[in-house]
A = this chain, B = another copy of it.
Amino acid sequence: MTSIDEANQTAVRRMLDSAPVLTGIRRASDVIPGMRPDLILHAGPPIEWARMSGPLRGAIIGGLIYEGLASDEASATAMVERGEVAFEPCHDHQAVGPMAGVTTASMPVYIVENRAGGTTAFSNLNEGYGKVLRYGAYGEDVLARVRWLSDVYAPIVGEALERSGGLDMKSLIAQQLQMGDEGHNRNKAGSALMARLLAPHLARTQARGDDLAAVLDYLAANDLAVLNPVMAACKSMADAAHGVPGSSLVTCMARNGTDFGIRVSGLGARWFVAPAQIPVGLFFPGYTQEDANPDIGDSTITETAGIGAFAMAAAPAIVQFIGGTPAMATESTLEMYEITVAENAAFGIPQLGFRGTPTGIDIRKVVRTGITPRVNTGIAHRRAGIGQVGAGLVRPPMECFERALEALAAAVAAPPQ
């Protein structure tokens, strides 16, 4: 076993031993380190406005209107172009967000504490389907939903989470993988489990009857409700594995709609980026592959932690909305064992005789085998203001892994500082 292998075992053990618990919901500026009113967090690696794709720009415009900093698209764009808004990755602030991932100072965020790993992670709230901010839509109906999440949902569900003592996300993910979810594009079982676990605590809050019913309506209708807590749980697991000197494990994969970026445990905060690819999948009526934006979102944190496309064997029904066949779902998981260093016994896949999910991507294995990680994803329209147009499959560019491996080789060769 080389020193890199040993470092990887240390890193992946921290990921596997993680105990993520969803403990509450708070205002981003109250809990996210470094959050401030003129800062907008976004998915993926760092990017300046000029290079941002339509859906990310759309979500930023919506975020500025939501914050009351701009009144419409024109004033939001002008504000950005005057340099009055700063942009940083969610990942630089212990946070993750699906698709555009836009998180502003007054938005509520889920808090996930990794009680074994000592890490804490955050995620914004899931808006549901259709025209939504995270896919770059920002109309008044879109913002009304974001405001309801902030004003009604967040305080009630936050109080319920505190009353519950926290929701054990490791157990929830383990259960959903036995119930046809892979935890990224399919979260129906996990969302139903979250709804029924929270419901009695919700009923014990101080919520008004109609607000309580509206929150339960949301939880009853939104099969993605649990995605954001699952992502924060995965972020807390991946962060626990980060920072092990010499480790070649991937601890972050994220896309901003223009670039795909990864981080590696032994290589600090440095991003290794390359152009994001365009997902291939199934499109909603009226849309085609031509409408698809390049890959976007922090939701690849699920694959980074060994679920999502890595657990697709557990979710054969997913092929109904991302394309492919149930046999391909099984092959997807089997292939990922080729590029990972461990199996997560806590996340057993019934279809594979309860074999643990492939966990801990080793950049050396990716480069050696030529197999890049598989990713399940939603597909955004390439223009701002439209929203989701489909769902499908994508892979990261190999260049990210090649560049990271070069950097690791240099770091390992260099004398300790």
A119 to B338, CA, bound (A): 54
Is the C-beta of A370 less than 8 angstroms from some C-beta in chain B? no
Q: What sequence of 0s and 1s flags, for each residue 192-205 of chain A, a beta carbon within 8 Å of any chain B beta carbon? A: 11011101101110
Is the C-beta of A398 less than 8 angstroms from some C-beta in chain B? no
Contacts of A11 in B (CB 8 A): none
Q: Are A220 and B200 in contact (CB under 8 A)?
A: yes
Q: Are B192 and A220 in contact (CB under 8 A)?
A: no
Contacts of A219 in B (CB 8 A): 196, 199
Contacts of A202 in B (CB 8 A): 216
Asked if A216 meets B193 with Cβ closer than 8 Å, knowing A178-B317, A351-B351, the reply is: no
The distance from the CB of A286 to the nearest CB of chain B, in whole angstroms, is: 25
What is the count of identical protomers in the complex? 2
Contacts of A197 in B (CB 8 A): 220
Is the C-beta of A385 less than 8 angstroms from some C-beta in chain B? no
Q: What sequence of 0s and 1s flags, for each residue 168-209 of chain A, a beta carbon within 8 Å of any chain B beta carbon? A: 000000010011110000001101110111011011100001
Contacts of A175 in B (CB 8 A): 188
Q: Are A220 and B203 in contact (CB under 8 A)?
A: no
Is the C-beta of A326 less than 8 angstroms from some C-beta in chain B? yes
Is the C-beta of A350 less than 8 angstroms from some C-beta in chain B? yes
Contacts of A209 in B (CB 8 A): 203-204
Q: What sequence of 0s and 1s flags, for each residue 212-252 of chain A, a beta carbon within 8 Å of any chain B beta carbon? A: 11101101100000000000000000000000000000000
Max count, chain B CB within 10 A of own CB: residue among A179, A214, A316: A179
Is the C-beta of A325 less than 8 angstroms from some C-beta in chain B? yes
Contacts of A179 in B (CB 8 A): 179-181, 188-189, 317
Is the C-beta of A353 less than 8 angstroms from some C-beta in chain B? yes
Interface positions of A from 330 to 365, Cβ below 8 Å from B: 350-354
Q: Are A213 and B196 in contact (CB under 8 A)?
A: no
Contacts of A327 in B (CB 8 A): 353
For A209, the closest partner residue in chain B by CB is B203
The distance from the CB of A226 to the nearest CB of chain B, in whole angstroms, is: 11
Contacts of A189 in B (CB 8 A): 179-180, 189, 192
The distance from the CB of A85 to the nearest CB of chain B, in whole angstroms, is: 38
A355 to B239, CA, bound (A): 42
Q: Are A196 and B212 in contact (CB under 8 A)?
A: no
For A319, the closest partner residue in chain B by CB is B350
Contacts of A204 in B (CB 8 A): 209, 213
For A196, the closest partner residue in chain B by CB is B195
For A181, the closest partner residue in chain B by CB is B179
Q: What sequence of 0s and 1s flags, for each residue 353-384 of chain A, a beta carbon within 8 Å of any chain B beta carbon? A: 11000000000000000000000000000000
Q: What sequence of 0s and 1s flags, for each residue 107-129 of chain A, a beta carbon within 8 Å of any chain B beta carbon? A: 00000000000000000000000
Sort A-B residue pairs by CB-CB distance and give the 3 closest, nearest first: A316-B350, A195-B196, A200-B216
Ordered by A's residue number, 18 sampled pairs between the chains whose C-beta atoms are within 8 Å are A178-B180, A179-B179, A179-B188, A179-B189, A180-B350, A189-B189, A192-B193, A192-B195, A192-B196, A195-B199, A196-B196, A199-B199, A202-B216, A203-B209, A204-B213, A319-B350, A326-B351, A326-B353
Could you tell me which A residues sit within 8 Å of B by CB distance? 175, 178-181, 188-189, 191-193, 195-197, 199-200, 202-204, 209, 212-214, 216-217, 219-220, 316-317, 319, 325-327, 350-354
